[in-house]
Structure 1
Amino acid sequence: MKFFLFFLFLFPFSSYPVFSQSNLLESVKKNPGEAKNICNKFRELNSKGVSASENEAIDYVSKRNKLTPVNAEIFSIYVIGLHCPDII
């Protein structure tokens, strides 16, 4: 019984990241102009030898979109996948 109650307590919290990731993907799909601006910033960083997965790029996305670093990284992956696959 304790296990069942523990599971019920954790279940709503464990599903939250899934909804969060879905919302991030939708925001990328609905704002292609914003995504292209981020792509341009990634290209600028790439020209300086900075990868889109490095802290400098993730911090930029995090601050620009008011996201946690983890969500900023997920957001960046979506942006790159949908709008700028040439980014490294």
Structure 2
Amino acid sequence: MTRPRLCGLSLAATALSLIFASPALADSALLESVKQNPQKAKALCAELQGLNARGISYNSPEATAQIAQQQGLNTTDAEILSTYVVGLYCPTVR
């Protein structure tokens, strides 16, 4: 089953709504790691763009598993991190 594609603005709104809906997420070390280190966010964007170039969506199970492994995260945290980074730093990633 494929997931619906969101436009960049909707994706950013989704990421922000996740953060504002749960203040614990906003203060988490997970999101702070890219908020405080834009280079990490840019590196993650480049990785996600590379996946897109191979026809892989940033929120596919394959991409989520790869990010989880590389970042030392569980898949839920990897999906949250990817959505946050895409929404705020690389809206052209799909």
TM-score between the two structures when normalised by the length of structure 1: 0.72
Bigger helix fraction:
1
Structure possessing the higher radius of gyration over alpha carbons: 1
Aligned to 1:63: 69
Q: Which has the higher contact order (CA 8 A, sep 6+)?
A: 2
Identity across the alignment (%): 39
The CA deviation at 1:41 is: 1.0
Please give the alpha-carbon distance, in whole angstroms, between the structure 1 residues aligned to 2:44 and 2:88. 12
SS at match of 2:91: coil
The answer as to whether partners of 1:28 and 1:78 remain within 8 angstroms in 2 is no
Aligned to 2:3: none
Gapped regions of structure 2 (runs ≥ 5)? 1-21
Q: Which residue among 75, 81, 85 is the counterpart of 1:79?
A: 85
4+ aligned runs moved over 3 Å, structure 1: none
TM-score between the two structures when normalised by the length of structure 2: 0.68
What is the number of equivalent residue pairs in this alignment? 71
Q: Which residue among 38, 42, 45 is the counterpart of 1:32?
A: 38
Gapped regions of structure 1 (runs ≥ 5)? 1-16
Query: Which residue type is aligned with residue 39 of structure 1?
Result: C
Please give the alpha-carbon distance, in whole angstroms, between the structure 1 residues aligned to 2:62 and 2:34. 20
